[in-house]
């Protein structure tokens, strides 16, 4: 029943464990080249941690940090986690993975769907 699926792209699907004022939140990190330059939390009061928060009713909250983002503070092991630093590391890893995937698939032909009624 239905068509056979050969390739998929998973864009959503990572459950968030973050919350802002009791609402489900997910981090969004901005990069220029390989530099992390900013970020925010996407927050939704009516959605859960396993739902897409990018929906009507979402709000934005700054992904603030009190200390420099370059590294955690090894001299203060009891300090709160620098989430901006952690998310920056993940963003750079994701960028490296995407670049590798683009490099590996650059020579593969791209199939484009034909418009209905067009000649073959």
Query: What is the per-residue pLDDT across 1-53, written as a single tens digit (0 to 9) for each?
Result: 688 888 766 555 567 788 899 999 998 888 898 888 888 999 999 999 888 89
How many domains are there within the chain?
1
Range of the domain at 70: 18-105
pTM: 0.63
Task: Decide if 87 is inside a domain.
Answer: yes
Task: Decide if 110 is inside a domain.
Answer: no
- Note whether 11 and 2 are within 8 A (CB): no
Q: According to the model, what pLDDT value does residue 47 have?
A: 93
Q: Is the pLDDT of residue 67 over 70?
A: no
Give the total residue count for the chain: 120
Q: According to the model, what pLDDT value does residue 119 have?
A: 58
Task: Decide if 7 is inside a domain.
Answer: no
Task: Decide if 112 is inside a domain.
Answer: no
Q: Name the DSSP class of 70.
A: S
- Which residues neighbour 104 within 8 Å (Cβ) at sequence distance 6 or greater? none
* Backbone dihedral angles phi then psi of residue 104, each to the nearest 5 degrees: -70, -25
Task: Decide if 82 is inside a domain.
Answer: yes
**Distance (Å, whole) CA 97 – CA 110:** 20
Q: According to the model, what pLDDT value does residue 75 have?
A: 80
Assign residue 4 a region (left: φ > 0; alpha: ψ between -120 and 50; beta: otherwise): beta
Cross-strand bridge partners of residue 79: none
Task: Decide if 113 is inside a domain.
Answer: no
Q: Is 83 exposed, middle or buried (0-12, 13-18, 19+ CB in 10 A)?
A: middle
Measured between its terminal Cα atoms, the distance across the chain in Å is: 26
Percent share of the chain, pLDDT over 70: 74
């Amino acid at each position: 029943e239905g068509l056979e699926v050969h390739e998929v792209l998973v864009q959503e699907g990572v459950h968030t464990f973050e919350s802002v004022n009791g609402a489900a939140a997910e981090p969004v990190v901005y990069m220029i080249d390989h530099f992390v330059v900013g970020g925010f939390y996407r927050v939704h009061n009516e959605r859960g941690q396993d739902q897409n928060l990018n929906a009507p009713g979402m709000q934005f909250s700054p992904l603030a940090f009190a200390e420099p983002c370059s590294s955690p503070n090894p001299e203060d092991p009891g300090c709160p986690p620098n989430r901006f630093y952690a998310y920056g590391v993940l963003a750079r890893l994701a960028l490296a993975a995407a670049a590798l995937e683009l490099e590996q698939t650059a020579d593969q032909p791209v199939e484009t769907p034909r418009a209905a009624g067009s000649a073959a």
